[in-house]
Structure 1
Amino acid sequence: MNFAVLVFPGSNCDIDLYKAIEDSIGEPVDYVWHTESDLSKYDCILVPGGFSYGDYLRCGAIAQFTNVMKSVVKAAEEGKYILGICNGFQVLTEARLLPGALLRNNGMKFRCHQTALKVENNTTAFTRDYAEGEIITIPIAHGEGNYYCDDATLKELQENKQIVFRYEAGSNPNGSLDDIAGISNKAGNVVGMMPHPERAVHEILGSADGKKMFTSILSAWREKHDAAAIR
């Protein structure tokens, strides 16, 4: 399975993601610069955290116009797996691959610490190795992680089980609507989340709970790949 880690000017979690793939599942992984336009080689595209283009205008607002994001939109339409983390989540909302927007934290401060997440949907390709309702520990590091959408969109997210992660009750660090920490598109092949699973793949980091995200992706791809081979 081939993984791409996108790199924009200002990305700073690209190395973390690259190492997480290497260490947790050992699959081939490449850095892909924002000027690239061909992602046909890759089965999963990872959009990392950081401050793409210095977070000018809005977080992720400039990155959406890059050559590589046009190819990410195409890859998503083809059913490939797309995961956006922190700034990557912001980029995916700006590119309209996911609904809603990320606003300033309600306390107007950058928050950087471990958080408890509840796995709300374990039927996606990104969460299948978790138990539904499982509480996991994943760190955050953001100033604009306050997820917001209108009432109609929230109802749709709830009814379609597109809310993948919530902050554990009473521990919402940013004022995010409905305690949302991560969502998917309707098809379930695109997920965005503010917490950083790539920083939680070894106990020495304080938690290894993020590792299951990457093993989930690999097992989902293998199942899909094997089924296609049989046909």
Structure 2
Amino acid sequence: MGNYQTQCRRTVLKSSAAALSGFSLIGTGLAANGGDHEEELNTDFPPGKDEEVIKFAKNFHELDEDRCEAIWEELNRGQQIAYSNVVTPREVYYEEVDKEETNQLTTLSVGYDHDSTFHFKVYGAGDIKVIDLYHEIKWSVEDESIVDVEGNGWSDNLTHLWSDEGNSESRFEESPWTHDSDDKVGSVTSIRSRKFTFAGAPWGGLTYYPETNVWAVYNGGSGVGACDDDGIGDIKTDDRPVICSSV
């Protein structure tokens, strides 16, 4: 599918050069036309205080595209570096998407016996959501064997200066139903890696390749298996970590 929304997306083209060079327009204040979030936005936040940087980032992400652009250009180099640090991926959590929500999100062809979609939530510092990443698998079964499978992935709600560059890898791995039934496919694993780039880091570009691994079995079961999030941190559910060893 490849559909996604990026908060303040146009700023990547208009302000990334200034960010990389350290050029900035240091402001002392902004007109409060962005609602409560802009009224609470402190453009003079000290870069060395994480809690102030995180507070700025959370309010900043709620503003519209034009206001984000204007505010970004007011930040000095130290503030831009501090912001870049807190929106660098650190942890990933996942949950299975409700079937009704799945039907609204996906455009994959119909006609499969089963389908599952998992939502991977990528966080920076201080519970700042950086990327929403989705991985879907649909499969059909005949005579207790998986006979057709299709996978898909997309992202949504990228924070300021992050962009989705599309798939870097997508493949399937099949396993037999039993050791004595090599002619029957008992499970299929969909492995997908997606490329994301961050254009605003003053020290240079940042590239992130999260890999997600979703499995499906002939009886309709599915789940998240081994995974690799590029060493940023463990992929986790809300209550326990998932093993992130290689497949």
Question: Is TM (by shorter chain) over 0.5?
Answer: no
Structure whose alpha-carbon radius of gyration is higher: 2
TM-score band, normalised by the shorter chain?
under 0.3
Higher strand share: 2
Higher helix share: 1
